[in-house]
C-alpha cells in the first residue's frame, strides 16, 4: 500500500526523516518478522524496547520505522538515510491507526461486539458468537481460547493472552470478513484498553459482565482498573450492562448516552432482560426469560446461574443487532460453550470439570454450582498465576478452604518467578496450611496428576485457574500444556506421581 505519512492526521506524526511517501508491504512490531518493504513500529513493553531493534529491522529490509523516542530515531536516521523514520506522539496509538489505514477500515465492514469485565468475558463472547451463528449471522470469536471464524479455529500465533495487538486484530478482522463472517465477538481486557489495542474502533455493542479487583499488578489501584474498563463504553454505539454488578454498572449507566440494554438474574429488578425459575438439569439449564414483561421458556445446554447471566448478555447483544425475542429463542437451545469453561470429562469413573476460574469471586460461584452435581468427594485444584498480581493469591485459598475434601495448590504461568514462591504465596491464605488435605505441586502438570492421584471412582475433580492458549508461560517462553492430554495419558498409563 502506498502511504503518504503526512496526509493522515490520526497517525499523530511529529517529525519525519527521509521520504514522506512509501510503498508499505506489511506492518510489524516484532523485528524478527520484518520483510522487505515493511513498516516497523517500535513499542516499549514490560521486558523489551522496540527501539533497540531498529538496526536489525533496517537490515531485514524495513522501508520505514516509527517510534516515540526521538533521540534513537534521529541517530538511526543518520545511519540509514534511505529509510524513512517517523517520530510519533504514541507508538501504540500509531500502530492502531496505521493498521486501520493498512487494512482499509475493515472493522467497519463487520459488526463488532466488545466484551469486558473481570469474569465471564470468554463465555459471553463465545455465547454471542454461537447465538449469532445460530440466528444466521456468520460470526467469529477473538479472545482467550483462540481465534475462531464461523467455520472453525483460525491458525494464529497469539502474542497476548486475550485481546490481540491492534495490527493482529485488524488482520483477524480481514480474515473473518474474507471467510464470510459479518460479526466478531471480542474479549476486550483492561490491559488491552490501556495499551490502545482497540483504539480507533467504534464498537457496535459493548458488553459489561462484572467488576472485582484484578490485574492490579498492571493498574496498581482498583480505580485505575475501573477507568480502563470504562474506556470501552466511550467508544461504543450501544451498551449491555449487568445491573446485578456493584463494581461498575452504575458508572456505565451514568456516562453512556447511547442505547442501553440491562440484564439481571433478579426477576424483580428493573432490568430489560431477566431470568426467573432457574433450574439445572442433567443436560443443561431451564429458566424463564423475561423481556418487556413477557415470559418465554428457555432450555439451554449451559450450566450454572452465572452462565445464565452470561446467556442474558448474549440475548441483549442479539436484540441490539435487530433480532426479535421469538427469533432468539430458537438459537438458545443449542448454544455452544467455550472450551475450558465448565467443561465436563467422564474418565476413570470420575467426573472431571475444567473451568479456568482464576479470581476469588469466579471460584466461589463455580464451587456453588459444581457442588450441585452428584459426587462422593470433591477434589479441587487452585493455582497462583505468576504473571498476575500476588495480592489475590491468598484470597484464592480463602475461597476454597473448607469447600473441598482434597485441595491441590499449584502454579499457572510462573513467568520469571520461582514456581514454589507462587505456590507458597497462595498457601498464606489458608488458616491451617498444614492441613493433611492440602497438597502443593510445583507445576500445573504435577498439580493435575496430584488431583487424579488422590481421587477415587465417583469423585468429582475440579481443575481451575488460568491455563490458557495451550501453553504455560515460563521465563518468556510458551511451554506446550494441555490438561486434557495429561488426564487422558494418566488413565491410559497410570504413572503415579508423589503428592507433597
What's the rounded Cα separation, in Å, for the pair 124 and 208?
Answer: 10
Taking every pair of Cα atoms in the chain, the longest distance, rounded to a whole number of angstroms, is: 73
Question: What was the pLDDT predicted at 465?
Answer: 86
Question: What was the pLDDT predicted at 199?
Answer: 97
Question: What was the pLDDT predicted at 161?
Answer: 80
Strand 146-149, strand 139-143: pairing: antiparallel
Which long-range CB contacts under 8 A does 391-395 form with residues at least 24 apart? 391/213, 391/216, 392/213, 392/214, 392/216, 392/359, 392/360, 393/422, 393/425, 393/426, 393/428, 393/429, 394/425, 394/426, 394/428, 394/429, 395/360, 395/429
Classify the phi-psi angles of 137: left when phi > 0, otherwise alpha if psi is within -120 to 50, otherwise beta: beta
Question: What was the pLDDT predicted at 468?
Answer: 61
Give the residues across from 194 on adjacent strands: none
φ and ψ at residue 237, rounded to 5 degrees: -80, -40
Instruction: Note the pLDDT tens digit of each residue in 73-120.
Output: 999 999 999 999 999 999 999 999 999 999 999 999 999 999 999 999
If you average pLDDT over residues 337-342, what whole number do you get? 84
> Domains of the chain: which residue ranges?
2-91, 106-332, 343-493
φ and ψ at residue 352, rounded to 5 degrees: -115, 125
Do the beta carbons of residue 147 and residue 334 sit within 8 Å?
no
Q: How far apart are the first and last CA of the chain?
A: 59
Question: What was the pLDDT predicted at 473?
Answer: 84
Instruction: Note the pLDDT tens digit of each residue in 343-377.
Output: 889 999 999 999 988 889 889 989 998 998 889 99
Nearest partner of 85 among 126, 117, 120, 40, judged by Cα: 40
Split at pLDDT 50, 70, 90, the class of 212 is confident
φ and ψ at residue 306, rounded to 5 degrees: -65, -25
Strand 13-17, strand 84-88: pairing: antiparallel
What's the rounded Cα separation, in Å, for the pair 193 and 335?
Answer: 29
Split at pLDDT 50, 70, 90, the class of 467 is low
Task: Give the length of the chain.
Answer: 500
Where is pLDDT greater, at 385 or 83? 83
Q: Does domain 106-332 have CATH number 2.60.120.10?
A: no
Instruction: Note the pLDDT tens digit of each residue in 236-247.
Output: 999 999 999 999
Q: Is 70 exceeded by the pLDDT of residue 211?
A: yes
Q: Is 80 exceeded by the pLDDT of residue 57?
A: yes
Question: What was the pLDDT predicted at 344?
Answer: 86
64's grid cell: 520505514
If you average pLDDT over residues 259-284, what whole number do you get? 94
- Candidate CATH numbers 3.40.50.2300, 3.90.190.20, 3.40.50.20, 3.30.720.110; the one for domain 343-493: 3.90.190.20
Q: Which fold has domain 2-91?
A: 3.40.1390
Which of 117-121, 211-215, 337-341, 490-494 has the least mean pLDDT? 211-215
Q: To the nearest whole number, what is the mean pLDDT of the chain? A: 93
Split at pLDDT 50, 70, 90, the class of 494 is low
Q: Is 90 exceeded by the pLDDT of residue 498?
A: no
If you average pLDDT over residues 394-418, what whole number do you get? 94
Strand 21-23, strand 26-28: pairing: unpaired
Amino acid at each position: 500500500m502506498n502511504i503518504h505519512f503526512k496526509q493522515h492526521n490520526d497517525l499523530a506524526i511529529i517529525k519525519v526523516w527521509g521520504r514522506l511517501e512509501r510503498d508499505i508491504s506489511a506492518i510489524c512490531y516484532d523485528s524478527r518478522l520484518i520483510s522487505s518493504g515493511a513498516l516497523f513500529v517500535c513499542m516499549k513493553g514490560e521486558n523489551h524496547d522496540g527501539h533497540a531493534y531498529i538496526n536489525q529491522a533496517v537490515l531485514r529490509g524495513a522501508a520505514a520505522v516509527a517510534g516515540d523516542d526521538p533521540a534513537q530515531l534521529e541517530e538511526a536516521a543518520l545511519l540509514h538515510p534511505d529509510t524513512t523514520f517517523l517520530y510519533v506522539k504514541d507508538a501504540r496509538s500509531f500502530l492502531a491507526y496505521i493498521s486501520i489505514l493498512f487494512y482499509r477500515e475493515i472493522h467497519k465492514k463487520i459488526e463488532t461486539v466488545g466484551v469486558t469485565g473481570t469474569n465471564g468475558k470468554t463465555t459471553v463472547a463465545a455465547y454471542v458468537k454461537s447465538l449469532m451463528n445460530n440466528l444466521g449471522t456468520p460470526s467469529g470469536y477473538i479472545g482467550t481460547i483462540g481465534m475462531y471464524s464461523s467455520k472453525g479455529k483460525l491458525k494464529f500465533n497469539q502474542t497476548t493472552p486475550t485481546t490481540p495487538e491492534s495490527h493482529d486484530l485488524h488482520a483477524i478482522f480481514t480474515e473473518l470478513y474474507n471467510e464470510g463472517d459479518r460479526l466478531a465477538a471480542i474479549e476486550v481486557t483492561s490491559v488491552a484498553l490501556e495499551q490502545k489495542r482497540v483504539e480507533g474502533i467504534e464498537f457496535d455493542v459493548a458488553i459489561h459482565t462484572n467488576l472485582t479487583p484484578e490485574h492490579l499488578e498492571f493498574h496498581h489501584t482498583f480505580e485505575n482498573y475501573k477507568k480502563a474498563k470504562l474506556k470501552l463504553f466511550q467508544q461504543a454505539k450501544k451498551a449491555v450492562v449487568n445491573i446485578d454488578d456493584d463494581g461498575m454498572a452504575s458508572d456505565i449507566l451514568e456516562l453512556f448516552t447511547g442505547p442501553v440494554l440491562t440484564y439481571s438474574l433478579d426477576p424483580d429488578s428493573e432490568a430489560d432482560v431477566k431470568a426467573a425459575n432457574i433450574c439445572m438439569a442433567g443436560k443443561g439449564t431451564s429458566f424463564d426469560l423475561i423481556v418487556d414483561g413477557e415470559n418465554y421458556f428457555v432450555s439451554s445446554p449451559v450450566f450454572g446461574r452465572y452462565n445464565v447471566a452470561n446467556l442474558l448478555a448474549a440475548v441483549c447483544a442479539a436484540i441490539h443487532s435487530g433480532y426479535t425475542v421469538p427469533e432468539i429463542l430458537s438459537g438458545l437451545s443449542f448454544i455452544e460453550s467455550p472450551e475450558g469453561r465448565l467443561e465436563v470429562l467422564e474418565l476413570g469413573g470420575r467426573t472431571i470439570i475444567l473451568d479456568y476460574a482464576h479470581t476469588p469471586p469466579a471460584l466461589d460461584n463455580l464451587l456453588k454450582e459444581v457442588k450441585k452435581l452428584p459426587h462422593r468427594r470433591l477434589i479441587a485444584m487452585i493455582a497462583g498465576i505468576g504473571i498476575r498480581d500476588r495480592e489475590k493469591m491468598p484470597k484464592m485459598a480463602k475461597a476454597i478452604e473448607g469447600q473441598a475434601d482434597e485441595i491441590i495448590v499449584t502454579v499457572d504461568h510462573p513467568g520469571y518467578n520461582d514456581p514454589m514462591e507462587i505456590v507458597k504465596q497462595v498457601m498464606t491464605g489458608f488458616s491451617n496450611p498444614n492441613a493433611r488435605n492440602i497438597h502443593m505441586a510445583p507445576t500445573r502438570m504435577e498439580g493435575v496428576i496430584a488431583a487424579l492421584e488422590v481421587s477415587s471412582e465417583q469423585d468429582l475433580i475440579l481443575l481451575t485457574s488460568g491455563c490458557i492458549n495451550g501453553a504455560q508461560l515460563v521465563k518468556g517462553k510458551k511451554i506446550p500444556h494441555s490438561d486434557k492430554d495429561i488426564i487422558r495419558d494418566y488413565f491410559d498409563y497410570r504413572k503415579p506421581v508423589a503428592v507433597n
